[in-house]
Chains A and B, each alone.
Chain A
Amino acid sequence: AQTVTQSQPEMSVQEAETVTLSCTYDTSESDYYLFWYKQPPSRQMILVIRQEAYKQQNATENRFSVNFQKAAKSFSLKISDSQLGDAAMYFCAYRSAGNNDMRFGAGTRLTVKP
């Protein structure tokens, strides 16, 4: 079974600076999707960014970008120019192309200091 590991329970960053959240996963499949979700205190799960495993190019969404290393099974999230509104729990998630359920990591709580 696929597992997703987030080794940083908590991270903090100064406002306007850059922070990287780590995620590794274990799979024997070659075709899959990876996601980062944000969960603020409102508990609404918000999709931040997605990456298809067959794409070599790293996904980017405004201030959010990923470093996808398929061979290393690593999928880190970089947040540039951090804002106070970025403070939340961040979950890394894996979804097989052949299976529909999504597996989540344990999460990283990000604090943004003014």
Chain B
Amino acid sequence: SAVISQKPSRDICQRGTSLTIQCQVDSQVTMMFWYRQQPGQSLTLIATANQGSEATYESGFVIDKFPISRPNLTFSTLTVSNMSPEDSSIYLCSVGWQGVGDGYTFGSGTRLTVV
């Protein structure tokens, strides 16, 4: 299975600012996802990061707020823009392989606190 390096592991940010989270995988993967986990809650899919094209966002998430890049098959970034305290969550990168029914591998997450 892939090994994921997700950075930063945690950050405290001022409201109105932006934070970019990086996800680096040690091998090429066909699928990369970004999830949000609000305090005490389950995981909610934000978007699928598509290599070389715009990400596919889930209902309730928009590109202006959560711009995503995926320049190649091993790297993706998620930006949380114009942050408010409601954005305080854990953000997780996840990877998988198309057509394979294995579980996805997750990064260790980024704990974001907005003050």
Contact = CB atoms under 8 A, between A and B. Distances in A.
A102 B106 contact: no
B103 interface: yes
Interface stretch (B12-20, B38-46, B69-77, B80-88): B38-46
B109 A44 contact: yes
B31 A100 contact: yes
Q: Is the interface of B mostly helix, strand, loop or mixed?
A: strand
Interface string A47-78: 10010100000000000000000000000000
A102 B44 CA distance: 9
Contacts of B105: 47
A52 B58 CA distance: 25
A45 B106 contact: yes
In the complex, which of the residues A101, A104, A105, A106 has the most CB atoms of chain B within 10 Å of its own CB atom? A101
Nearest to A48: B103
Contacts of B101: 33, 50, 52, 95, 97
**What interface size band does chain B fall in?**
20 to 34
Interface residues of A, number: 22
A102 B45 contact: yes
Given A44-B109, A47-B104, A101-B58, 11 more contacts: A43-B37, A43-B90, A43-B108, A44-B108, A45-B94, A45-B106, A50-B103, A100-B96, A101-B45, A102-B33, A106-B42
Interface of B: 31, 33, 37, 41-45, 48, 58, 90, 92, 94, 96, 98, 101-106, 108-109, 111
Interface of A: 33, 35, 37, 42-45, 47, 50, 52, 91, 93, 95, 97, 100-107
